[in-house]
Chains A and B, each alone.
Chain A
Amino acid sequence: MRGPDSPEMTAKIAIAVFVVLFLLHQDSWNWDNGKLWFGFLPAGLGYHAAYSVVVALFWAAVNRFAWPHAVEAWAEEGEKD
């Protein structure tokens, strides 16, 4: 699977997904939800635990498709010590 060719486009997509994740953090619909998932996990906690996993997956995708190769090369080519 290949990401979009343009680094600018992948960066824009990553920022857009980041904004969506930012908004999804504010789960007002769980504010007074006291139900237990699987009989022990409060809904508000379960949602944010799953959110943490999704965030990790997001950063894995960012590493894969929007890695700052130019910055990395710039650092290596002009190393001082």
Chain B
Amino acid sequence: MTTFFILVGYLALLIGLGLLSSRFFKGTSADYFVVSRSVGSFLLLMSIFGTTMTGFAIVGSTAKSYTTGVGVYGLMASWSGLVHSAVFFAVGIKLWAIGKRHGYLTQCEFFRDRFESPGLGYLLFPILVLLVIPYLLVGVIAAGKFIQPTTAGLFPEAFPMPPLPNGQPHPLHGGIPPWLGSGVICLIVLFYVFFGGLRGAVWANTFQTIVFMITGVIAFYMISKNLGGLKVAGESVVASEFGSSRLVREGMMGKLEFMSYCFVPLSVGMFPHLFQHWLTARSAQNFKLTVVAHPLFILIVWMPCVLIGIWAAAYLGPLGEGQSPNSVLGRMVGQLVHSPVLSGLVGAGVLAAIMSSLDSQFMCLGTMFTNDIVVRKFGANRFSDSQKILIARGFILAVVAVTYWLSLALKDSAHIFDLGVWCFSGFAGLFPLVVAAIYWKRVTAAGAYACILSVVAVWCVLFYRDIIAVKPAGAASDELLVLGMMPVALIIAVSTLSLVVVSLLTRKPSDDTIRKFFV
């Protein structure tokens, strides 16, 4: 029960934080949507880091290291350290400046004006929403699926599970089922976003980021200590046949695949929720800490998890039939530490990582619907600030309800987590659009349309081949590679080519627009 009470205490703290942040609410739409552009360096760093790190950063990184070895750090973490900071510096600061100068709240508002095309906003809105929703689903489903094993055995009468066919008790017997776990997580995120707006999300993200960073380091220390220390843990991996293969990348991943992962983190340049966080900065100077500390924070979160993953390969050996690599971190904590307090803290850390992404995504969808659809259609002066906030809250409520319902319907789908990776590829495919919009005066509306439509076309074809098409019997079930590279490399190549060629063939934008958007 200690583990359960720690989780409940953590969630109660988040509700308290939501209430506290709502007391600072100034009642204006600018305050609700972008915190009156008043966020300082520390909160900006923590909220952006918390938003970009999902539950995958803790549970998934350990699992991926267990299955693929130490190369996963270079594949995902060190690439993100370099590329995310580059995007924050080269794209984030510029978009912050444009947003501050012209009062933008969403990406669609910016692209619509930059390309002198109202229709572009209407084309981009559903694409961005459709790419965010699976990303949300992954978080909601992961939360529900994480809570059930964490609370297994605590409520045998309320949540019984039938015994396994071999007569053994079900490992999830008595655990809080996903419909309830996911529901509670959705309600808590909804609570602090609904009442606190983006300020609630920024404060909660900061708290959550601190929690998941500290719990990760504590788990690492306790596990390494109980394995006999760092050196003994390392030697056991070398001595293990299953574990030693995880010390290298040979046989685990291709060199082109490793290189092409650099394209995946470009997705942050087109995340609508990150765009909104950038706009909250008080000044450009506030970006400095984020740009420098982001690679170090990734190191602090990822390196312990990757080491635990390879230690688990030596300690646990191959997993049995039906056992998920995602259970590796929980099993290492459970078997080596025997501390319900640490299990509870790690549980809170995983939920923190999941929820710190969910809140910003819920918030950005409410902001986009209000500003890109409702205000756009009925006119900026049609609604008062309090009406805009009411509309945003209503849409956030609807999005949470739909996401929750979808999470129940799709929680057992084999491909839901693959869908998350495809969302990143879609956002990354649109990255050339934002770069051209802020750095290339010659880019045209037609070029922008060509870029967006080519991303949709290539994404759909590759997605069909990877997820929907029936694979021939005996075909490998590994992720789809194109010429040995991640599909995102092809999507970006095609979108860039479409953007450039069509822009050069069409009439350049007006001088007024160029003056409006360039220094």
A-to-B contact residues, CB < 8 Å: 18, 21-22, 25-28, 30-34, 36, 38-42, 44-45, 48-49, 51-53, 55-56, 59-60, 62-63, 67-68, 70-72, 74-76, 78-81
B89 interface neighbour in A33, A34, A59, A79, Cβ under 8 Å? A59
Taking the closest CB of chain B, its distance from the CB of A37, in whole angstroms, is 9
Query: Bound state CA distance, A32 and B253, in angstroms?
Result: 11
Query: Bound state CA distance, A47 and B101, in angstroms?
Result: 42
Query: Bound state CA distance, A71 and B81, in angstroms?
Result: 24
| Known A26-B259, A45-B306, A49-B303: A59·B519 in contact at CB below 8 Å | no
Query: Bound state CA distance, A47 and B62, in angstroms?
Result: 19
Q: Beta-carbon contacts of B462-488 to A below 8 Å, as 1s and 0s?
A: 000000000000000000000000000
* A68 closest partner in B (C-beta): B93
Residues of B within 8 A of A32 (CB): 248-250
Residues of A within 8 A of B73 (CB): 44-45, 48-49
Report whether A34 and B248 are in contact in the complex, using a CB–CB cutoff of 8 Å. Answer: yes
Residues of A within 8 A of B292 (CB): 56, 59-60, 63
8 A-B residue pairs with CB within 8 Å:
A27-B74, A39-B234, A40-B234, A42-B248, A45-B73, A51-B78, A53-B295, A75-B96
B-to-A contact residues, CB < 8 Å: 30, 37, 70-71, 73-74, 77-79, 81-82, 85-86, 89, 93-94, 96-98, 100-103, 230-231, 233-235, 237-238, 244, 247-250, 255, 258-259, 262, 283-285, 288, 291-296, 298-299, 303, 306-307, 310, 519
Residues of A within 8 A of B94 (CB): 68, 71
Residues of B within 8 A of A45 (CB): 70, 73, 303, 306-307
Query: Bound state CA distance, A63 and B288, in angstroms?
Result: 6
* Known contacts A25-B262, A33-B248, A36-B238; 16 further A-B pairs (Cβ under 8 A): A25-B74, A26-B255, A34-B244, A38-B230, A40-B231, A41-B307, A42-B70, A44-B74, A44-B247, A49-B78, A56-B296, A60-B292, A63-B291, A74-B519, A75-B98, A79-B100
* A70 closest partner in B (C-beta): B519
Residues of B within 8 A of A42 (CB): 70, 234, 237, 247-248, 310
Query: Bound state CA distance, A72 and B283, in angstroms?
Result: 8
Taking the closest CB of chain A, its distance from the CB of B84, in whole angstroms, is 10
Taking the closest CB of chain A, its distance from the CB of B296, in whole angstroms, is 5
Listed residue (A21, A31, A32, A81) with the most chain B CB atoms within 10 angstroms of its CB: A81
Residues of B within 8 A of A52 (CB): 77-78, 81, 295-296, 298-299
A74 interface neighbour in B30, B101, B299, B307, Cβ under 8 Å? B101
| Known A26-B259, A49-B73: A55·B310 in contact at CB below 8 Å | no
| Known A40-B230, A40-B231, A68-B93: A56·B249 in contact at CB below 8 Å | no
Report whether A78 and B101 are in contact in the complex, using a CB–CB cutoff of 8 Å. Answer: yes
Residues of B within 8 A of A21 (CB): 82
Residues of A within 8 A of B97 (CB): 71-72, 74-75
| Known A48-B77, A48-B78: A68·B249 in contact at CB below 8 Å | no
Report whether B101 and A26 are in contact in the complex, using a CB–CB cutoff of 8 Å. Answer: no
| Known A26-B258, A70-B519, A79-B101: A55·B81 in contact at CB below 8 Å | yes
Query: Bound state CA distance, A62 and B90, in angstroms?
Result: 11
| Known A40-B234, A49-B73, A72-B284: A80·B102 in contact at CB below 8 Å | yes
Query: Bound state CA distance, A67 and B299, in angstroms?
Result: 25
Query: Bound state CA distance, A79 and B37, in angstroms?
Result: 11
Query: Bound state CA distance, A80 and B249, in angstroms?
Result: 51
Residues of B within 8 A of A22 (CB): 82, 262
